[in-house]
A and B are shown apart, each in its own frame.
Chain A
Amino acid sequence: MSDTPPEGTPSAAAGPPGEDDGHTLAYGRSRHHPPPRGGPAEVGQPAEAAGQPPGGPGGRSRLRPPQRSVLERRFARLGWAFALPGLFVVLAVTLFPIVFSVAMSLSDVDVSAGGFSLSGFTTGHYGLLLGSERWRHALVFTVLYTIGTVVAELILGTLIALVLERLGGVGRSWMMALLLLPWAMITVVSAQLWAYMYNGVYGILTAASESVTGEPVQFLGTRFPAIISMAVADVWKTTPFVAIIVLAGLMMLPTDVTEAARVDGAGAWTAFWRVRLPLLRPALTIAVLFRILQAFGIFDLPFVLTGGGPGDATESLALLGWHVMFTNLDFGPGAAVAASTAALVLVGCLLFLRAFRSQVGEEEAGT
């Protein structure tokens, strides 16, 4: 993580020491008076932080074990003691199930009246996945669906955020409240509402499509319309989330940068595209990461809207896992689907972060 952009970037010499990676980086660099920053360990040692040479070395110095006073060590111990009960809860409700399902995916599972019994070690369940066309199909669908919806949400969300930013005042508060309605609604409920609208005979959208084209569109009954219809329901629900995050990013942007761009003769488009959007990247990253994590595990929409159909057109990995686990009661393979999905999304997110960082690094190196 510490091998990211700051090292060797020319602007770093002029800016503050590049200790941060990620979000605050872009903000910090663009400000005239950077706020004091640094991890908790450094808070008590402004002298050391200030004494660091700027740029690259700053990143390395973080790896040295910090010198702590007795008081600090005591505080640290106290902190652990306070956190311990909470950590146990996390261990019990988060880590244990994860570890257990990974263990399940790697052994022969018998579900019986006495509970689950795991025996032996096998990678057979994963082999089964790789050889299964149904799994590959679900994987391709999930990946494409994730990319498609996240891109759409990102574009729409950013546009909405820009409008909201301009709106200001009471209007903005009202609009935000309105916008958050779909996001606040439970997905199963909103999916049911969409199902009514898409209903092949009495759905309002079906009727609307009939009056426009003369032929009713079968939103859920045929392959591609079903995929698109599901994506629309998803975009409708989650775009507000992206908009709020991006709006928060926009509000934190310093106005002087835009002003400076204007003074230098940049038009509205250039100022947005070349100045504000790059500065917005941290906010966009957060939005995209959250959305990828959610979209990749999509379950409720296909469950309510299509049941994975027509055929297997909208069967996502999560839905497949549920089918294998709770309809077929094949717990080993089901756990393998779940664990591999989690692993894939984790890898996907890391790759995304990495690509994002290196891109930022390159651009900053080039400026």
Chain B
Amino acid sequence: MSIRRAAALCAVPVLLAAAACGSGVGSATVDPRDVGPASGAITWYAINFGPEGLPQKLIDAFEKKHPEISVTYQAAPNNTDTMRATLTTEISGGSGSIDVFNGDLIWPAQFGRSELAMPLDEHLPDDFWDRYPEQRSELTEYRGDHVAAPLYADAGFLYYRKDLLEKHDLPVPRTWEELAKTARTIQDAGDAKYGYVGQWANYEGLSVNWTEMTAAAGGRSVSDDHESCTMETQENRRVLDFMRGMLDDEVAPSAITSFQEPQSLQTFVEGDAVFHRNWAHGFGESNNPEISAVAGKVGIAPLPTFEGEDHPGPSAMGGWNLMVNPHSESVGAVLTFIKWMTGDEAQRMLAENAVLPTVSDVLNDKELQRDDPVLAAAAEVPMVARPALFPRYAQVSYGMFTNINGSLAGTTPPGAALRAACDDIERALEGNAL
């Protein structure tokens, strides 16, 4: 509150200054609220992304363009949940030491509800959001107000061993059923220990894998209006049975129920698996001879679908947004930073460093796509969003991954698992914390 008042007090001189500089923000229908001067020092809190030192490279380029603003990069713990806990403690405690932070794509609704992120619509021109694909821009809204600006994107892909498929003269599988069969053939020939590895551990990543596979089969976990749980459907049952079948047939290693991204990637780069589902960084890493025993032998394809459904299967939307700490005292500078980071120059830098851009123009740039097969694939694949527009998404997701994981680990039969998932999800939809 006091910040708002202070901001109001500063309004007159700053507006005058802004007008004098002619650095207005264009065609906003609402006059941008006074935000302080677009200069000074700001702190950017983010999990390291891209190749080593990319955040600092971006900052250097930004500071060259805007010498009146200096940005300090503060590395966040490399774990989404830990980072959320840190941010919650800091921001709800009233700290303004972080001005702008990277926020997971699934955070906006939750952060919007808890006022942990500043609504941006009154500060940014209406056409700001046109730079993004519609689906991505929608995912940053809470109650009709954008609370985050997408910075970089991510999507799930199927990575496969080109050499093994060639050896057995088999095509890249288009359906999950075909994938399991292909994998089994190659395993039986003794060319790979495992057929498929993904992220089936007891965490958010399983919700991602689950969302992708069920979407391919035509299923979903929560209804569009966030009113009811739709876990107990034939489509979802088909997917869960299929996943369990992969375990029974030993196409997937039994350890997969404890696999997160690093474990599945490790298994793949050691040459122990034929197929691997991972995010975009999986391509660069599995083709990097320093860490991968299969460098140069890895191909990328869109995710498979299920028999009788449209190919390809959709990829889950991933990625990170920029969010503003409501306690920041340098909102003016932060907005300049956000505009630049989501602008052409920065987004191109991302694409050139194997990080998927969020801005449509850069994502669809044919020249960039020629140099980067991942970018080309990302522009093509259909996307599916986790039901994260709902503030209690974290709880919904818990209902999904815990029960699916329990069923994959053999603790609960599939029918009971889907029912239990619905119990958990419905409690969340009804607004109950437990």
Binding site for B on A (CB under 8 A): 110-116, 125, 128-129, 131-132, 134-135, 199-202, 206, 216, 218, 220-223, 306-313, 322-324, 326-330, 332-334
Residues of A within 8 A of B115 (CB): 111-114
Write out the residue numbers on chain B whose beta carbons fall within 8 Å of the beta carbon of A334.
433
* Segment at the interface with A among B6-14, B304-312, B408-416: B408-416
Are B84 and A327 touching (Cβ within 8 A)? yes
Interface residues of B in 254-304 (CB under 8 A from A): 254-259, 263, 266-267, 270, 272
The answer to whether B409 and A310 have CB atoms under 8 Å apart is yes
A133 CB → nearest B CB, Å: 8
Query: CB of B32 within 8 A of chain A?
Result: no
* Cβ contact within 8 Å between A113 and B91: yes
**Which of the segments B37-45, B55-63, B234-242, B399-407 contacts the partner chain?**
B399-407
Contact call B202/A129, Cβ cutoff below 8 A: no
B1, CB-defined interface residue at 8 Å: yes
**Bound complex: CA of A332 vs CA of B92, how far in Å?**
14
Partner of B88, one of A131, A134, A222, A329: A329
How far is it, in angstroms, between the C-alpha of A222 and the C-alpha of B410 when the chains are bound? 7
- Give the shortest distance, in Å, between A301 (CB) and chain B (any CB): 14
* Cross-chain contact of A112 among B81, B92, B424 (Cβ < 8 A): B92
Please judge, given known A-B contacts A309-B201, A309-B402, whether A221 and B256 are in contact too, CB under 8 Å. Answer: yes
Check B433–A116 contact: CB distance below 8 A.
no
Q: B394: CB under 8 A from chain A?
A: yes
Contacts of A135 in B (CB 8 A): 434
Closest to B409 in A: A310
Contact between chains at B256 and A115 (CB < 8 Å): no
B contacts, CB < 8 Å to A: 1, 81, 84-85, 88, 91-94, 110, 114-116, 118, 201-203, 253-259, 263, 266-267, 270, 272, 326-327, 392, 394-395, 398, 402-403, 405-412, 424, 432-434
Closest to B424 in A: A134
Q: 11 new A-B pairs (CB below 8 Å) besides A222-B410, A334-B433?
A: A110-B114, A112-B116, A128-B432, A128-B433, A129-B434, A201-B263, A218-B254, A222-B409, A223-B409, A309-B257, A311-B412
Once the chains are docked, how many angstroms separate the CA of A114 from the CA of B405?
Answer: 38
Bound together, the chains give a CA A218 to CA B256 distance in angstroms of 10
Residue of A nearest to B87 (CB): A326
Contact in complex: B433, A200 (CB < 8 Å): no
Residues of chain B within 8 A (CB-CB) of A311 are 202, 402-403, 405-407, 409, 411-412
CB-contact partner of B409 in A202, A307, A309, A333, under 8 A: A309
Kindly identify which residue among B114, B257, B270 contacts A222, using a CB–CB cutoff of 8 Å. B257
Q: Which residues of B contact A310 (CB under 8 A)?
A: 202, 257-258, 405-406, 408-409, 411
A309-B405, A311-B409, A311-B411 known; A326 vs B81 contact (CB < 8 Å): yes
Residues of A within 8 Å of B116, CB to CB, are 111-113
CA distance A128 to B409 in the complex (A): 29
- B395 surroundings in chain A (CB, below 8 A): 328
Considering the chains assembled together, what is the distance between the CA atoms of A206 and B258 in angstroms?
13
Across the interface, B110 reaches (CB within 8 A) one of A112, A116, A329, namely: A329
Which of B114, B203, B257 interacts with A111 by CB under 8 Å?
A: B114
What separation, in Å, do the CA atoms of A322 and B92 have in the docked complex? 16
Q: Tell me the minimal C-beta distance from B406 to chain A in angstroms.
A: 2
A307:B255 contact, CB within 8 angstroms: no
| Least Cβ–Cβ distance between A50 and chain B, in angstroms | 57
Least CB separation from A134: chain B residue: B434
- With a cutoff of 8 Å between Cβ atoms, the chain A residues found around residue B403 in the complex are 311
